[in-house]
């Protein structure tokens, strides 16, 4: 939703997408740090360590984490539906085999595109 041109290039012509500048890298690192802090609020949670470059592995690790009733939450879970990939920041286990989808953002306000992001994740899940 934010940059359709970059998305297109990263998927279809990654060599043309260009490298991220220092400011973009700093924003990404800050977001990752906020994510790590958010995970601390869910003791007993497990991290899906495989990244989007290892999609099959990430999907398998997500399935295994969901099957293990000892995991109170899953961090960076991966799901697909109709060739659409969703990465979930936090998936919290609830009673009666239910789950809470939690998006973590490094921002001081809610942006409209955050809602699109969560809506797509919910649809896929």
Tens digits of residue pLDDT in 59-117: 999 999 999 999 999 999 999 999 888 999 999 999 998 999 999 988 888 888 889 88
Distance CA 86, CA 93 (A): 18
Banded model confidence at residue 42, pLDDT cuts 50, 70, 90? very high
β-bridge pairing 84-94 and 73-81: antiparallel
Q: What percent of the chain is predicted at pLDDT more than 70? A: 96
- Residue 24: which pLDDT band, with cuts at 50, 70 and 90? confident
- Cβ-Cβ contacts under 8 Å for 23 (sequence gap 6 or more): none
Q: Hey, is 112 helix, strand or coil?
A: helix
> Could you give the CA distance from residue 38 to residue 102 in angstroms, rounded to a whole number?
10
**What's the alpha-carbon Rg for the chain, to the nearest Å?**
15
Q: What are phi and psi of 64, to 5 degrees?
A: -65, -40
Q: pLDDT value at position 1?
A: 62
Counting the structural domains of the chain, the total is 1
What residue numbers bound the domain in which 52 lies?
4-124
Mean of all residue pLDDT scores within the chain: 89
Q: What is the model's pTM? A: 0.83
Rounded Cα gap, residues 53 and 44, in angstroms? 26
Kindly indicate the confidence band of residue 13, based on its pLDDT and cuts at 50, 70 and 90: confident
Confidence band for 21, pLDDT divided at 50, 70 and 90? confident
């Amino acid at each position: 939703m934010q940059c359709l041109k970059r998305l297109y290039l990263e998927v279809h012509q990654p060599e043309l997408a260009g490298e991220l500048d220092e400011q973009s890298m700093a924003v990404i690192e800050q977001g990752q740090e906020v994510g790590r802090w958010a995970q601390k609020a869910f003791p007993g949670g497990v991290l899906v360590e495989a990244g989007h470059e290892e999609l099959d592995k990430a999907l398998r690790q997500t399935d295994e984490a969901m099957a293990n009733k000892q995991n109170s939450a899953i961090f960076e879970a991966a799901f697909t539906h109709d060739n659409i990939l969703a990465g979930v920041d936090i998936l919290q286990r609830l009673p009666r085999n239910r789950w809470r989808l939690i998006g973590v953002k490094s921002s001081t306000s809610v942006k409209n595109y955050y809602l699109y992001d969560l809506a797509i994740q919910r649809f896929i899940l």
